[in-house]
Amino acid sequence: MVGIGYRKDFAADFAESNDMQPSFIEVAPENWIGVGGYWKKQFQKALEQYPLFTHGLSLSIGSPDPLDFVFLKQVKQFLRQTNAVLYSEHLSYAKCNNAHLYDLLPIPFTEAAIHHVANNIKQVQDFLEERIAIEIVSYYTPVAPELSEIDFINAILQEADCDLLLDVNNVYVNSFNHQYNAKKFIEQLPMHKVKYIHMAGHEKVADDLIIDTHGEAIIDPVYDLFAFTIQQLNRDVPVLLERDFNIPELIQLQGEINRLRDIKQQILQPASYANIY
């Protein structure tokens, strides 16, 4: 299964043409909760055709601020109403000092943060009555770290007993920005916890910095890392193509979807794949 991040920018084209045929769509509940009128109609049409995966933005699971249970209740209703397959969020914080920042800030890799974040994830899972998948985010600087990124992530996954959303592009971006080996990083992740994969493009803004823009096509080294990830997993996991800006013709996005499908198929079903050709 390869899905696409459903965006308002291409909603009309997507509804009217057959140029893009994902296996599912993904949205941020924040962008659709309490929305009616034109957008609701468009979204309903898409929901009639595709299963929905969700990827939250504002829950701010790594925030020093308390969790917003009023908002979480709306999320829960949204997940039920839309029959969402899965809810995922970011291992980061987007609210602090009682203010939303609407972007993903990096959590300090500290022992104290592990317990705080794991406790938040557990509370969210209890409240939603389902497991959630947590995404490793791209980050541009460490913040007062005590631990390595991998130890920090693994400790949270274990203590919170949640699933992992493995964004392969984020691992690539982080390995470049913080100079480590992306494959070794992936090898150290608990593969049995990977519930969902994200793939996207990025932008290199300096010799030593890549920004995770979701505004470009996926580059070859990230496809390679994806292939490596599927080999490590050795099982089928839903994969999402994220494209938020600079959106090309849908046929081009379908090209990326096809390439992701092919890579997965080649690795997971080498025998049957060989038979077809």
Partner 1 sequence: MQTYIDTQAYQSQLARFCRTGQWEPIPGVHVQHVQQYRRLVYNVIDDMLLNAYPLVYACIEQEEWNELVQLFFSEHNCQSPQVWYMPKEFYLFLHKRQHPLLQKYPQLLNVMEYEWAEIALFMMEDIAVTYTTFGDVLFSKLILNPEHCLLHLTYPVHQKKVNTIHAEDKSCFYVIGHRNREGAVLFTDLSPALVRMIEYLAMQPLSVMQLIQQLENEYAMQLTEKDKNAVLHFFEVALQKQLLLGFSVSSEKKVFE
Site residues, partner 1 (CB under 8 A) = 30-31, 33-41, 57-59, 62-64, 68, 71, 93, 95-103, 105-108, 110-113, 115-116, 140-146, 177, 205, 209, 211
- Contact (Cβ atoms closer than 8 angstroms) between residue 173 and residue 202: yes
Quick check: helix, strand or coil at residue 154?
helix
Cβ contacts of residue 170 below 8 Å, gap of 6+? Answer: 135, 136, 137, 138, 198, 212
Least Å distance, CB 212 to partner 1, is: 10
Q: Which secondary-structure segment (H or E) carries 57?
A: none
Task: Choose, by CB under 5 A, the member of 89, 163, 167, 256 that binds Fe ion.
Answer: 167
Options 92-100, 121-129, 152-160, 191-199: segment touching Fe ion (CB under 5 A)? 191-199
Long-range contacts of residues 184-187, Cβ cutoff 8 Å, at least 24 apart: 185/149, 185/150, 186/225, 186/228, 186/229, 186/232, 187/232
β-strands 133-135, 86-90 pairing: parallel
198 near Fe ion, judged by CB under 5 A: yes
**For partner 1, the closer CB: 113 or 121:** 113
**For partner 1, the closer CB: 75 or 233:** 75
Give 27's strand partners.
54
What is the CA 187 to chain-centroid distance, rounded? 19
Least Å distance, CB 198 to Fe ion, is: 3
Least Å distance, CB 138 to partner 1, is: 11
Residue 198 interaction partner, one of partner 1, Fe ion, none, beta carbon < 5-8 Å per kind: Fe ion
| Torsion from C-alpha of 248, 11, 135, 33, nearest 10 degrees | 150
243 near Fe ion, judged by CB under 5 A: no
**For partner 1, the closer CB: 56 or 238:** 56
By CB under 5 A, the residues from 91 to 130 that bind Fe ion are none
- Using CB under 5 A as the criterion, which residues of the chain lie in contact with Fe ion when the complex forms? 167, 198
